[in-house]
Structure formats: structure tokens, C-alpha cells
Amino acid sequence: MRTMALETPDTGDEVKPIHEVDCVVKSNDRVNDEYRLLVLDAPLKILDCEPGQFFHLLCPISGNLQPYLRRPMSIYGYYPDKGELHFLYKVTGEGTAAMATMKMGDTFNVLGPLGKGFDILPNWKNLLLVARGVGLATLAPLALEARRLNRNLTAICSARSKSVLMSLDYFRDLGVNVIALTDEDATSSVENMRRIIEALIADEGVDAMYTCGSNRILKLLQDVGKSHKIPGQIALEQQMACGFGMCQCCVRAFHREGIIVNERVCTEGPVFDLQEAIGC
Amino acid sequence: MRTMALETPDTGDEVKPIHEVDCVVKSNDRVNDEYRLLVLDAPLKILDCEPGQFFHLLCPISGNLQPYLRRPMSIYGYYPDKGELHFLYKVTGEGTAAMATMKMGDTFNVLGPLGKGFDILPNWKNLLLVARGVGLATLAPLALEARRLNRNLTAICSARSKSVLMSLDYFRDLGVNVIALTDEDATSSVENMRRIIEALIADEGVDAMYTCGSNRILKLLQDVGKSHKIPGQIALEQQMACGFGMCQCCVRAFHREGIIVNERVCTEGPVFDLQEAIGC
Amino acid sequence: MLDLTTQIGTLKLKNPIMPASGTFSEDLARVFDLDLIGAHVTKTITREKRSGNPTPRVCEVRGSMLNSIGIPSKGVEAFLANVIPFYAQYDAPLIVSISAGSADEFASLCEEVSVPGVAAIEVNISCPNIEEDGKAFAMRPSTTEAVMRKLRNATDLPLWAKLTPNTGETTEVAKAAEAAGADALVVSNTLLAMAIDIHTRRPKLGNLMGGLSGPAFKPIALRMAYQCAKSVDIPVIGCGGISNLEDVIEYLIAGAVAVQVGTATFIDPKIMVNMVDGIEAYLKSQGLHSVSQLVGSVEDGEVSDGLVFMEAAP
Amino acid sequence: MLDLTTQIGTLKLKNPIMPASGTFSEDLARVFDLDLIGAHVTKTITREKRSGNPTPRVCEVRGSMLNSIGIPSKGVEAFLANVIPFYAQYDAPLIVSISAGSADEFASLCEEVSVPGVAAIEVNISCPNIEEDGKAFAMRPSTTEAVMRKLRNATDLPLWAKLTPNTGETTEVAKAAEAAGADALVVSNTLLAMAIDIHTRRPKLGNLMGGLSGPAFKPIALRMAYQCAKSVDIPVIGCGGISNLEDVIEYLIAGAVAVQVGTATFIDPKIMVNMVDGIEAYLKSQGLHSVSQLVGSVEDGEVSDGLVFMEAAP
Ligand SMILES: Cc1cc2nc3c(=O)[nH]c(=O)nc-3n(C[C@H](O)[C@H](O)[C@H](O)COP(=O)(O)OP(=O)(O)OC[C@H]3O[C@@H](n4cnc5c(N)ncnc54)[C@H](O)[C@@H]3O)c2cc1C
Ligand SMILES: Cc1cc2nc3c(=O)[nH]c(=O)nc-3n(C[C@H](O)[C@H](O)[C@H](O)COP(=O)(O)OP(=O)(O)OC[C@H]3O[C@@H](n4cnc5c(N)ncnc54)[C@H](O)[C@@H]3O)c2cc1C
Ligand SMILES: Cc1cc2nc3c(=O)[nH]c(=O)nc-3n(C[C@H](O)[C@H](O)[C@H](O)COP(=O)(O)O)c2cc1C
Ligand SMILES: Cc1cc2nc3c(=O)[nH]c(=O)nc-3n(C[C@H](O)[C@H](O)[C@H](O)COP(=O)(O)O)c2cc1C
Ligand code: FES
Ligand code: FES
């Protein structure tokens, strides 16, 4: 298997400026047992976002919580009209624990928007989104965009338990057809998911599939996509330092034209072609 | 000049336990242009102090202020009756700047009481205290102790300007005879101080002299002390790491029995014999 | 008029702030005008395409980071075709960082990148010398001197030797690079370090170990920069943990004629521009008129060589 | 029953936590019962009285500190008369740290402190060897081996060699110490570093440079401890930046059989006791029953020698 280094920054896309901005925290509340929603008062210039893009966040330093590097976080919602930027996050370590201490009125430095978001091609009418856990944070803006573009969206949302299943109301309010699966109900198995997706394809049809994170779901959608020739995209994660292309920390491997190529999640991604992606 | 290492910890003194305690901030207000008064709610066990002793303070970490080592700070006041411990401090760098951000209700970790305080021998009736600037913080508890022991205390307080002359009311309330000298009034010169001291000696007499910090004052009091055979003590400062004898960071040199000895400011001091002290 | 320029051999920079190799790329042009800084330094390239080390390539340690990127490289052809033209649109001089596994490969790559548009070549000699015992060239004076001599013969461009902090012979290596014709020293590359995830018990880096950079590394690299400035006559460019204006000033006072900023850019992408502005304000506030007044102005008194060149902590 | 004991050659400690030389003294008995920790390690002593380095001897760097205490020493007589009797009241074994400027002086001091009440001798070979070129013994395998052989002949007590991070030959030095008869390695002493006050332009330490210790130093010392554990058969005692329970676990997983805690005690004087308690809770939570199950349990897979023993960052 040959391995090849990545090519220079996409020359096709226009190169937008990256903004580093101090925002003010509007709220930072717990939404369920595991997740918090951070709402920032944000200037318009950073709200020209695409679903799937992310920001690189400078978490506050206080007491024993002393995160150093920025933390990448998907845009959960961007609202130029009300000047708000939303992040949905799970406290997993030092940085997110520090974020959780922030209060209304605190200043929070963000860098972005960064990366390449999801595509919704003109001929993609019926969209399917499959997410597990905090993956919803990344996929939620797709729902908003789908409605703006007048597409049909079905969201299969899987989680450990009902109590951590998030964004369902959010999706329903946007007219999304929501299918909730949980481990506690034993409905979240890959086999059940496959059955549900096959039924959707048979019924209304699916033009494109979107997912993120989970290896099991990636594998499933790659199978389904291949057999039904349905295109798809996946948002991936990787440890980052710079967040916009300089350090080469964040590479992942992809199948492309018979070889394995490394691409930077922060710049060529975080959204990649579903079939090219390689789980980890 | 021979140089000799210090001897093992004073075996004469009883060895008291050292306490590391989280206190709650009662107030932390500016007292004038340069100084702040920190009042802590402190448990009784750390309030068994002597004037001249100090605490080693763990300054809070927040944002760009990330002090690492503890900071030594003289006890400005200790009040077992009301359970309070006071520090008077000047913001000079990262640690004290971090202290200045503390608010009522915050937790503050202190280690102490540490070091050897001032002596007031039974036959010392007329005490003289000469202080400049923040040195007052160190000498203030002497006033309380002098009153408790029913001694006469005169305090010569020197500062750049009236507006930073602190503790004058505090001293007066304790019945101290206060003489205020300032640079702006051109009353703070060494010559003027010497005149004033010589007058005091001639009038009521002086049995012991106390000071801290300033090299000019040290030199002056050593002269006066030698010529009038008046004993004295000085509180000294030095960079510290551990604060109670382990690291040997905090040594200063002293004249003793014809040789130069190094002593640890944190353990053999911070109060030393006036004539043995060497300025820096 | 304040004079922010600094002279590195024949090369004059408009100010002493430049990026460190591997922490800079064309992408930073999306954040600020790249002509605001003194020079541009590319990520190290190799002759052939390489994919770099396994992931994770970065991990955080208290107040700093480790990286084990390795040297992913598009190869010299892609570099000549894409990267050099990109930087040609700027006035700031372009410094190309190169690396290779043997002195001959090093020399031939050096020749290949000695093209118009390149102002100087930085040689990353912290990489293993595959011909000898696998030790990095810059670990020893002898291997440093050998590779630098070949490089010196391969180009007329200024040659900057980038040292490693992993050697026990900092000043000897510095002198060897000077003797072999280096025009400047960059002090220094990252320090070998490690972190283990106590939950998985696995090394936090895919490559087992990596290089420490960032604030934790500053006092070490500063010491090296000072020692090098005292032991050679060629200019020293300070690099390691420089995160704010004070750090820049500290390195200049220690004897560096310019500095490279690495990890700090990841935290604050505009930091280099702020440093340039900050130097100006600082000079003004100190009543100084030029950066060169600061360089090497450390008040170290009549300090003995024994102290300056000590190699272990006292 | 949880087994916190650890075996260092013939010496069995009740738990793997002990202080680092120079960061501990009788004074700590004012904070906690010194029998709660695994061993006691004295500040390095020399044969003669010495006064140590000029002040300031300490300065703060971002999240860590530099020190240039030097080795102030009351001399061996005062030590035998006062210090050894003090520690005799405790069960925890006493480790005496010694230093000297030549191998012969080292050996004779070693003999003098080989007295009842002393459980092992730690040799601080990071000090300059005044007979050779002034380089510290532990900078090179040859000088390490030479001095360790003399020391080996001078005592029957266990000998712990304390290494320096300033060498470029960590594993070679480790092997040399082992070959010469060291019973354990302490990895490691402080790393040479510097800080300059930009206002006065003076070095922040009276002695120009000093040793970095504390959190900033951890990833470097951990890497060395790992490399040493992989390259010798004698036990390795980890030391460098250990500030909390996680750090202790990380060193044990990396291969250290015990750890020394230095600078962290200055911030939190009770930290060693908290670590002992913490290890117990940790073992319980992980379903482990002994410290030895953790030691060397790093999941480094089929890692090549090239990676384990690399000497510069990739
Ligand atoms: C493009 C992208 C979008 C993301 N969006 C979200 C989101 O919307 N909501 C959410 O809760 N999480 C999201 N994550 C994961 C999030 O970045 C991590 O949970 C977070 O960095 C953890 O930081 P920590 O300090 O709390 O954890 P620690 O484990 O202490 O972090 C240590 C280091 O590892 C890095 N790290 C840890 N986990 C991850 C991860 N999964 N991906 C990348 N780096 C990681 C951290 O950034 C930090 O540098 C996203 C990650 C990426 C790459
Ligand atoms: C026994 C003793 C009692 C003191 N009492 C008082 C007091 O009551 N009020 C007050 O305002 N100040 C007092 N000081 C001085 C006080 O310790 C310093 O002002 C303080 O440490 C400065 O810390 P910083 O981080 O703000 O300054 P920085 O300059 O940023 O400190 C950097 C480092 O230097 C050390 N340092 C700086 N100045 C001094 C100093 N003068 N003495 C010792 N170490 C220093 C700090 O502790 C720190 O480790 C006392 C010092 C000692 C030794
Ligand atoms: C992510 C990353 C990649 C690096 N890549 C290179 C490189 O390719 N070539 C090189 O000479 N140095 C490289 N370095 C080292 C830096 O140029 C610099 O010497 C080091 O990081 C110390 O500076 P800092 O503390 O300011 O980051 C890299 C450093 C980092 C953090
Ligand atoms: C103030 C101070 C004094 C030290 N004195 C000695 C010493 O006398 N002998 C020695 O071998 N190491 C000495 N050291 C080094 C420590 O023992 C230890 O190796 C080093 O500090 C790293 O550990 P740490 O990061 O936990 O402090 C000293 C360290 C400090 C901070
Ligand atoms: S995070 Fe630096 S290149 Fe992607
Ligand atoms: S501060 Fe450690 S001995 Fe005084």
C-alpha cells in the first residue's frame, strides 16, 4: 500500500479569513446528564458558517484546570439574525471541564469558522442523517440548512439512554423525521439500524447520507451506500494543535484512487467523503 | 572572611506544627493607591502567631495570572477572638496581582504561621519602630503586642507620600506615638530620621529598636544602636521556595562572632539581630 | 525613528520576529498579512514524499505540548512548484527548512532548493543520521561539522543550522557548526519527552515519544541560546517557548538577534504581529531606538567561563 | 489487602513515595508524620562545610521553578552527629545523598556515611568532576562508570546513582552505572536552564543558571525514566515534576518502581501523604492489589529499539 502526502490547500475554494474573537457568554447550561449548551454573543463576521464547520476554542484557565491548547468544537448552531453561536459539548477532560465553569458575562475566545462543511447538492432531495451521542452536535446544523433549502431530512439518533438523547425536539421543530434508538431499549443495534435505513430507501428513497464519529455506523453506511449507490459524507475527529492547516497534527488516512492519502481534518475536513473514510 | 554553613534547626524553641489551611476571604479591599488589605476567616489553630511571623500563600491561578510558588507575606494582624487573619500587601507582580483578584467568599490556601518573630524582652519598656512603605505590614503586629505587654511604642513611619502612608490611625488607636515622614514633605531623609531618633533617646530613652527592609534605615539604626548600645531587631526578606527550612533558597549572610554565616530567612528569621544583619 | 531591523549575516530583516519551522504555513495568511513579520520559515521538507508519523501526533502536557509529527513532506518538486511561488508575493525573505538522512542527500537537497525566491536555508540537523549510528547529526560536534561542510559546499545561500536541545554538548556543537561555515544558528528544536495515558496505559503519542515545545521549554532553550551567543561569533536566532513580548525581549537580551515563534501561534494565531507591535512600544518606553541595542545586553557581569558554559545544573 | 510495598534491590519500602534530595528536611516533620512515606532522602552533603551559591537561589518560570542552591553543607561530621540520629526515630529507611568533586573524595565520603541508620546511599553524580574537564560525572558513561566503581568498593550499602538530564547519552550512562555496580538509578536531577529579568536585564539567579524542576520538567524526566527502565535490569526510581497522583501512576506505568517528589512539596507540603493515600484508592478502583502490578505496565506494543532509545525528538 503506497502512502502519499497531502496536496497543497484546496485551490478550488475561496480562501476566507479566519477570525479570532472574544465573545461574551450568554448562557452555559446543562441540557442533560452529560451535555452542556454554550450560547455566545458573537459578531456577525464569524457567523458566516457552514454546517459541519468548527471553531477552535481557548478554554479558560482557573485553579487546577489549566488547558493549554485550543479545543476543536463543531458549530451546533449559528444565528446571524440574533448574533448567536452555539456549541453543544460533553465534559470529557480538562478543557471541557474548564468550559463548564464559564458563566454568563464571561469572555470566551474563539477562532473560526474553520474547516470544510457538509455539502447538500442541488439534486439531493431526501437526506438521511445518522448520529450517535454527541455526534448530534455536529449534524444539527444540517437540519437548519436542510429546511432553508427545502429538503426532506430524516434523522436517526442513537444514544445510550433516552436521558442523553438530545436535540430531538430541536429536530422535530425543524420538521425533521426523527427516529430515536437507544441501548436501553435495545433498538440501537447495527442490524436494527440497517433494517430501518433499508426501509427508508425502499419507501421514499435516500439521496445522501451524513454521519460522524462512530466506526460501527461508518461501516454500516459505507455498506449501504455502496450497495445502493448513495453518496455520503462523514465528519471526523482528530487531535489538533493549530486548527487550520499549519501543524500537520490532525491527519487521518483515506482511500483515494487506490492509494492511502493523509488529509488534515482541520483543513481538508472535518467533513470527508463517506466511502473514502477509514475508521479508527 | 570565612564562610560557614548554618546549624541545624533551633533546638531551643519548641517545634510547633505547621498548618496548611483553606481560608475564606472576608474582604480584600484597596486601602490606598498601592496597598490592599486581605481579611481571612481563619481557624484558631493558625492564629497562635507572633508579631514578625509570616504565612506562605498559595495565590490563585486564573487567566494569564499563573503564579506557581507560594508567596511569603507577613502577618499584618491576627485576631483569635474574631477568627481573622490579615495581610497588607502591595501588588508588585503575578502573585500579588492574582491575590488582588480575590473576592469575598473565595477560598485561599495559606501555610503557617512560619518563622521566628520579634522579641520584646521583659526589661524593654520604650520601644521604637522605624518602617518604610510596606514594611509597616510586618511591624504593625508589634504595636498590638506592645499594648498587650504594656510598653511604650513610638513608630516612625516613612513613605513616598501621605497617600500611601498606612496604618497611622491603626497605630494611633493603639496608643502609639506616631511620627510620619514623607518624601513629598522632604522629612524622610536619613539625617532627619537620625535627629528624631537621637531626640527620642535623649528624651524618654529607647530600650529596643525594630525595623525591616530598607538598607538606609538598617545602616542608620546600626549606627545609633552601636553608639547608644541599644539592641534591635530587623525583619528581612529573601526569595523563598518552601518557606520552612527545606530548600535553602532563602539564605542571607550575617556577621556573627567574627565570621559570615548564612541563615535561612524562613526558619532562623525573618526576624534577626539588627547588628548581625547585612544589607543588600 | 525606531529601528526594528536586525541583521543575520548578509540578510537584513525588517523586524526580529519570524515563525518556527513546522508551525507556519501559507494558511496563516488567512489570519494576517504575512509581510508584517520579519521572515517566513517553511516546514522542513525532504527530497522524497514522506507521510510522517502515526497519530496521535500531538498531546498536551501541563502548560505545553508534545508533538511527533515527523516530517511529512510533499517532496522537493511539489515544494518548488507550489510553495516557493506562493511566498514570492511577499517581501519578507523566505527561509527554507530542509532535512535528510545522510550528509550527501542533505547536500543535494540543499542544492535543489537554492533557487531564486529563497533567502536562506535552515538545516534541521536534529534528524537521525542513518549512515552513522542513527544519532541525530546535531547530537555531536563531529557529525554536525561533517554535514555542515557538505552543505556549505552545496550552496551560496546563507545557511542556518538548527540545533537540538538533546545533546550534552551544546556549545561544542555550536562551534562545530560555525567552524564548518554556518551563517547563523537557530537555538533550538524540541526536547525529547513522553507522556502516558494512565487510563489506557498507552503512550499519548502514536510514535511513543515526541518533542516538547511551548512555555515549559523556554528556560532550557533560553539557556542554550545564551550559551551559544557567548561561544560563537555568528548570529544566534532564539527559539523555544516564546509566547509573549517579554519572552522576545528576554531572548534578545540573552544575545539572540532574532527569534522564532512556534507553539504560541497555535494558541494565539496573531501573536507574532502583536510581538512586532509590542517591540516598538517597548523600545519607546525604554528610551531605546533600535533592536540591536537590546541584543546581548544581559547584565551578567564578570561571569566566569565555568559558569557560562556549565553543562549540568549547579 | 492492598500491597503498596515496592522492592528496590534488597531494600523493601512500605510504599513507593519518597522525597527528592534537597526538597526535604527534618522540618517536614512539623507538617506530617514522616513514617507515612516510603523512605527519607537527605539533601546532598559534601565532606567539608560549604556555603552554596549566591542569592537569589530560586526563581519562578511559567508553572515551574529554577534553583541554583548549589550544595551548602554542614560537612559530614555535623551530619553524622545531628541528622542521622534525628531520622533514627523513624522506621522509614534513610537514604543519604552525597557528592564530591573527585572519585576518590566521593569514595571516602561514601565510606564515612556507611554507618548504622543509613539504608542506602544516593550518589549525586550531576556535580562537576574537577579532576577531568569539569564536566559532571553523569554527563558521560566513562566518568559515570569510573566513579561508580570506586563507590562500589567503598560501601556494602545499596548504591543509587542519580542521573542528570543534561547528557545526550541517557541510556549509555544508565548502563555504565549498572555495569559499575549501582543497585538502582534515580532519574533524574534538574535540567540546566536560565531566566533573565527584562527590567534589570540581570539573570534571575545569582549563579547565572540553575536547574529546572516541577511540572514543566515532567515529560522530559518521564521519558528518561522510561528509557532507563528499558535499558537496565536494576530498578529505576522516577523523579521529575511529579505533582499529583496521576503523575505517580504515570511513572510507575512507565517502569519506575518508586518515585521521588521534589518541588511539589513546596506547593503542597502534604502532597506525599496524599499520594500514598491516593495510590491505595487508585489500586482499589482499578481492581489491582499491588503496586508491582502497575510497574512497567505501559502498553507500548512491539515498539522498536530505535524508538525506545531515540535521543532527539522525531
Ligand atoms: C472537528 C471536531 C469537532 C468536535 N465537535 C465536538 C462537539 O461539538 N462537541 C463535543 O463535545 N466534542 C466535540 N469534539 C471533541 C472535542 O474536541 C473534545 O471532546 C475535546 O477536545 C476534549 O477536550 P478535553 O480537554 O475536555 O479532554 P482531554 O481528553 O483532557 O483532552 C486532551 C487533548 O486531547 C484532545 N482531544 C480529546 N478528545 C478529542 C477528540 N475527540 N477529538 C479531537 N481532540 C480531542 C483535546 O483537544 C486536548 O488537546 C470535536 C472534535 C473535533 C476534532
Ligand atoms: C518574610 C516576608 C514577608 C513579607 N511580607 C510582605 C507583606 O506583608 N506585604 C507585602 O506586600 N509584601 C511582603 N513581602 C514581599 C512579598 O513576598 C512579595 O512582594 C511577593 O512575593 C511578590 O510576589 P509577586 O508574584 O507579586 O511578584 P514577582 O516579582 O512576580 O515575584 C516573583 C517571585 O519572586 C518572589 N519575590 C518577589 N519579591 C519578593 C520579596 N520582596 N521577598 C521575597 N520574595 C519575593 C516571589 O515570591 C515570587 O516567587 C514579604 C516577603 C517576605 C520574605
Ligand atoms: C507541531 C510542530 C512541528 C514542528 N516541525 C518542525 C519541523 O518540521 N522542522 C523543525 O526544524 N522544527 C520543527 N518543530 C520545532 C519548532 O520549529 C521549534 O523549534 C520548537 O517548537 C520550539 O519552539 P516553540 O516552543 O516556540 O514551539 C516543530 C514544532 C511543532 C510544535
Ligand atoms: C531547591 C532544590 C534543591 C535541590 N537539591 C538537590 C540536591 O542537593 N541533590 C540532588 O541530588 N538533587 C537536588 N535537587 C533536585 C531534586 O532532587 C530533583 O531531582 C528535581 O528537583 C526534580 O524533581 P521535582 O521536579 O519533583 O522537583 C534539588 C531540587 C530543588 C528544587
Ligand atoms: S490541527 Fe494543525 S494542521 Fe490540522
Ligand atoms: S524558603 Fe526553603 S529554606 Fe527557606
Identify whether residues A230 and A169 lie together within a single domain.
Answer: yes
Number of domains in chain D: 1
Identify whether residues A12 and A90 lie together within a single domain.
Answer: yes
Identify whether residues B107 and B198 lie together within a single domain.
Answer: no
- Whether residue D197 is contained in a domain is answered as no
Residue-level length of chain A:
280
Residue B163 is predicted with a pLDDT of: 75
Q: What is the pLDDT of residues A20-72, one digit of tens each?
A: 999 999 999 998 878 899 999 999 999 999 999 999 999 999 999 999 999 99
Chain C residues touching A243 at Cβ < 8 A? 266
Identify whether residues A266 and A179 lie together within a single domain.
Answer: yes
Which C residues, 62 through 91, put their C-beta within 8 Å of a C-beta on chain D? 62-64, 66-70
Number of domains in chain A: 2
- Whether residue C227 is contained in a domain is answered as yes
- Whether residue C59 is contained in a domain is answered as no
Per-position DSSP letters for C142-190, written without gaps between them: HHHHHHHHHHHHH-SS-EEEEP-TT-S-HHHHHHHHHHTT-SEEEE---
- Whether residue A280 is contained in a domain is answered as no
Best of C58, C68, C212 to disrupt the A interface (most A CBs within 10 Å) is C58
- Which residue from A53, A71, A101, A250 has its CB within 8 A of the most atoms of ligand 1, so it is best to mutate? A71
- Whether residue C102 is contained in a domain is answered as yes
Whether residue D218 lies within 8 A of chain C, CB to CB, comes out as: yes
Residue A167 is predicted with a pLDDT of: 66
Q: What is the mean pLDDT of the segment spanning D186-192?
A: 97
Q: What percent of chain B has pLDDT over 90?
A: 75
* B65: closest CA of chain D, how far (Å): 10
Q: Is D42 in the pocket of ligand 4 (CB under 6 A)?
A: no
Q: Is B239 in the pocket of ligand 2 (CB under 6 A)?
A: yes
- Whether residue C206 is contained in a domain is answered as no
Chain D residues touching B67 at Cβ < 8 A? 60
Question: With a cut of 70, which residues of chain C have pLDDT below it?
Answer: 132
The grid coordinates of residue B209 equal: 529598636
Q: What is the rounded end-to-end Cα distance, in angstroms, of chain D?
A: 44
Contact B159, B132 (CB under 8 A): yes
Contact D68, D207 (CB under 8 A): yes
Top-confidence residue, A251 or A167: A251
Q: What is the mean pLDDT of the segment spanning D61-69?
A: 97
Spatial CA neighbour of A77 closest among A53, A95, A97, A106: A53
Identify whether residues B258 and B204 lie together within a single domain.
Answer: yes
Ranking A187-191, B41-45, C201-205, D2-6 by mean pLDDT, the lowest is A187-191
Top-confidence residue, D312 or B84: B84
pLDDT over 50 (residue D42):
yes
Q: Rounded CA gap, D294 and D289, in Å?
A: 10
**Residue A59: which domain range?**
3-114
Per-position DSSP letters for C95-124, written without gaps between them: EEEE--SSHHHHHHHHHHT-STT--EEEEE
**Residue D277: which domain range?**
6-45+71-191+213-308
Identify whether residues B260 and B143 lie together within a single domain.
Answer: yes
The grid coordinates of residue D179 equal: 555495569
* D258-261 and A35-41 beta bridge pairing: unpaired
**What are the E-state strand segments in B91-189?**
107-114, 126-132, 152-159, 177-182
Q: What is the pLDDT of residues B183-221, one digit of tens each?
A: 988 898 999 999 999 999 999 999 999 999 788 999 999
Mean per-residue pLDDT of chain A: 91
pLDDT over 90 (residue D302):
no
Residue with cell 445502493: A228
**What are the E-state strand segments in chain C?**
6-8, 11-13, 17-19, 40-41, 58-61, 64-67, 94-98, 120-124, 159-162, 184-187, 191-193, 210-213, 236-239, 258-261
Q: How many CB atoms lie within 10 A of CB A1?
A: 7
Identify whether residues B53 and B175 lie together within a single domain.
Answer: no
Domain boundary, last residue among A88, A114, A140: A114
Identify whether residues B12 and B142 lie together within a single domain.
Answer: no
- Whether residue A278 is contained in a domain is answered as no
- Whether residue B88 is contained in a domain is answered as yes
Residue B54 belongs to domain with CATH number: 2.40.30.10
Q: Rounded CA gap, C128 and C135, in Å?
A: 5
Please name the residue ranges forming H helices in A101-176. Answer: 135-148, 168-173
Residue D150 belongs to domain with CATH number: 3.20.20.70
Identify whether residues A267 and A130 lie together within a single domain.
Answer: yes
Top-confidence residue, A36 or A161: A36
pLDDT over 90 (residue A197):
yes
Give the residue, by CA position, lying nearest to ligand 3 atom 23.
C240
- Annotated active-site residue C127? The verdict is yes
Taking 3-state DSSP, the helix, strand and coil percentages for chain D, each rounded to the nearest 5, stand at 35, 20, 45
pLDDT over 70 (residue B2):
no
Identify whether residues B87 and B160 lie together within a single domain.
Answer: no
Domain boundary, last residue among B114, B138, B171: B114
Identify whether residues B132 and B21 lie together within a single domain.
Answer: no
Residue B227 belongs to domain with CATH number: 3.40.50.80
- Whether residue B149 is contained in a domain is answered as yes
Backbone φ and ψ for D240, nearest 5 degrees, come out as 145, 105
Residue with cell 501523604: D273
Q: Rounded CA gap, C147 and B165, in Å?
A: 66
Ligand nearest to the CA of B34: 2
The grid coordinates of residue D173 equal: 550512562
